[in-house]
Amino acid sequence: MNAKEYLSQAFRLDRKINNKLRHTVSLREMATQGTRSIHAQRVSGTDKHSPMENAITRLVDLECEIDADIDRLVDLKRELAAFISQVDNQVCKMLLELRYLEGNTWEDVAEQMGYDLRSIYWLHGKTLQELDLRLNKQELA
């Protein structure tokens, strides 16, 4: 794994969490729609679960997954912050923090740092080269 892939893990996990959160909205809607028709259901002797019950079960399971993913994201960001802290250049360190820890777009990073976008890309590339070397040394050790 190179430095960019390593640092981008938080982006991917954050997107995964957001997708699951959107899915919880639809499950909540399914569960609340089921409450409207619950009185119309007839009780039978089977162990079949109602659609509302299934939606609630899936919702609870998904919320547990989201909680676990959020815990992993917090731990991952802590790990990435320690990795970024190895960078000696304060400008490059700030660039990495703004991009990978705070999730800013490149345009926002450039604006916040007072650089043009091209300079940000160049600094990012140079910093990633440095971090790739550090990762390779760690893998060989």
pLDDT tens digits, one per residue of 57-101: 888 898 999 999 999 999 999 999 999 999 999 999 999 999 999
| DSSP label of 49 | P
pTM equals 0.76
Is 20 contained in some domain? Answer: yes
Q: What local confidence, expressed as pLDDT, does residue 105 receive?
A: 96
- Which residue range(s) make up the domain with 134? 3-37+50-140
109/41 Cα distance (integer angstroms)? 56
Helix/strand/coil percent split, the chain, to 5? 80, 0, 20
Is 44 contained in some domain? Answer: no
How many domains is the chain built from? 1
